[in-house]
Amino acid sequence: MSRIATPSAGGPTAWHDLDPLTRLVVSVGTLVAAVLLTGVVCLLLLTLVAVLLPAALARQLRRVLVTGLLLALPLALSVIIVNVLFSIEGTVVASLGPLEITEEGIALAAEVVARVLTMAGAAVLFYVTTRPSELVASLQHHGVSARLTFVIHNGVAMIPRLAERAHEVTAAQRARGLDTEGNWLRRGRGVVAVAAPTVLSAVRETEMRTLALETRGFTRPGRPTVLRVPHDSSTQRVARWGVALALVLLTLARATGALPC
């Protein structure tokens, strides 16, 4: 059985040496900035600075590019089809039967695709360079509540578990005669047979984990002891607050129309 790729361990690079909270702030800040910014040039600059350079620093550039493209491909294709082929207004540059392709539709599609790629790259960069256990230790060290830490950890760690569980359910359903290699109609019918057990098992697993943690005093008052204290520094703290301040200024600039892109 094939194994699902999991986040890499902290390595010898400067990016891995950062506090996981710093990596999380950079990732979330990139996602928010991608929503606020407009224009392909600005979005590409954001991708270069906040995604590609850190990925190269972490020696994960190829993995981030490939996984990010695969993750964004379905949404990017739908954006291109809708905005290029079904644009209502604008300067017509070409025709495809009854459909008209406009400059404005192409420009909007390019901008949205650039935004989707930026957001996918930021999410993948954080995922492949941060273990859930490292993130939990960092959040606990910085005083985040145990309940919120559990929610974040469970959400991050659930992605590979869901993928692996779906693979196991598919194999089990094939053994029972489910056709997963026929035409698209037959595959569509088999989605429910795979999705329902996968989701239900994930819910049961989360419930069991919650009960197990409760019996071990998970929600007891007081700050828990962190065995592996993350490597934090005053420079990183200033950088995190700088990202937050930059997002506030970016939001104000967008609201007042003073943002150039």
Q: Which two tokens stand for residue 75?
A: 């949404």
pLDDT at residue 180, as a whole number: 58
Question: How do the pLDDT tens digits run along the chain, 261 residues long?
Answer: 334 444 554 457 889 889 889 999 999 999 999 999 988 999 999 999 999 999 999 999 999 999 899 888 888 888 888 877 776 676 776 776 666 777 788 888 899 999 999 999 999 999 889 887 788 778 777 777 767 776 776 666 666 666 677 777 777 777 766 665 655 565 566 666 667 777 777 777 767 766 766 665 666 666 666 666 677 889 999 999 999 999 999 999 888 887 777
How far, in Å, are 52, 153, 161 from residue 206 at the CA level? 34, 11, 11
What SS3 state is found at 101?
strand
Q: Which two tokens stand for residue 180?
A: 């997963």
Q: Which two tokens stand for residue 55?
A: 């990925």
pLDDT at residue 45, as a whole number: 94
pTM for the full predicted model: 0.71
pLDDT at residue 114, as a whole number: 93
Domain residue spans of the chain = 15-131+232-256, 144-215
E-state strands within 118-190: none
- Label residues 33-71 b or e (16+ Cβ within 10 Å = b): bbebbeeeebbeebbeebbbebbeebebbebbbebbeeb
pLDDT at residue 35, as a whole number: 92
- Label residues 207-239 b or e (16+ Cβ within 10 Å = b): eeeeeeeeeeebeeeeeeeeeeebebeeebeeb
Q: Which two tokens stand for residue 150?
A: 């559990």
How far, in Å, are 77, 100, 223 from residue 27 at the CA level? 24, 38, 26
Q: Amino acid identity of 14?
A: A
Nearest to 195 by CA among 165, 174, 175, 157: 165
Phi-psi region of 129 (alpha: psi -120 to 50; beta: other; left: phi over 0): alpha
